Amino acid sequence: MARTPIIAGNWKMNKGTAAAASALAQEVVTAIAGKSGVTVVVCPPYTVLHTVREVVAGSSVVLGAQDAFWKATGAYTSQISGEMLKDAGVTYVILGHSETRGRFGVPEPEETVKHYGETDATVNLKVKAAIAAGLEPIICIGETLDEREGGKTDLVVSSQVAGAITGVTSEKALRLVFAYEPVWAIGTGKVCDATEANRVCGIVRQTIRSLYGVEVADAVRVQYGGSMKPDNAAELLSQPHIDGGLIGGASLKSADFAAIVHATA
């Protein structure tokens, strides 16, 4: 089955002012104008979603968000619901990123304070809530360096996949996107070898096949994330199980991000 590539830019806590967000979004729109056959998503901070929405309106760029809570309303200070994101014009939402799980490629000293508590169970709640709100989840999975060196990569990845989609119907699962991001490659400049990245993305698809069957497994898109850049994008994106990229640092430079978009077949 032919799958449409999907390139998503995760701006993280960057470009958070209206001026900076508007400028980058406009540069991206201009840089990929005329490119077809690929889904392009930008995920800015919450505070500038409306600003970016106005810039990308009518273009081929789709708006995404970086997280969503699993409740629609209530006494949940600081949380953002799927309904709020949908109203803001969001289509895709990143869920279960390693940083919200407290699993960092490059830890900073203060990150020993455990202020991130995402688990497979909370990711599952968020996935189901996002689907109910009409959003399309980009579900992040990936192993730490210790887990890879301990030979646990396949187990960790398959467990995170299965945990994230417990209770999701086959019909809903068809529209899911998974992003394999080896934690040790996020923000480190290291990148997983293309052959190995493809193998692990194949583990993601194999896990989905075991849960839903071939049709769903063939339809689900699997991205690679973790230091994808213009100089390695083509090789990674040429792999049969890699359907796109979840881009961090390179998404903050419109030329780099556009080069990755243009590297899709």
Q: Name the residues annotated as catalytic.
A: 97, 181
Torsion of CA 169, 171, 174, 179, to 10 degrees: -30
Question: Cα dihedral sign for 73, 63, 216, 222?
Answer: negative
Tokens of 148: 């890879």
CA angle, 59 as apex, 54 and 63 as ends, to 5°?
Answer: 60
* The amino acid at 35: K
Report the distance separating Cα 120 and Cα 171, nearest Å: 21
Residue 129 CA neighbour count, 13 Å, CB half: 22
CA angle, 5 as apex, 68 and 136 as ends, to 5°?
Answer: 20
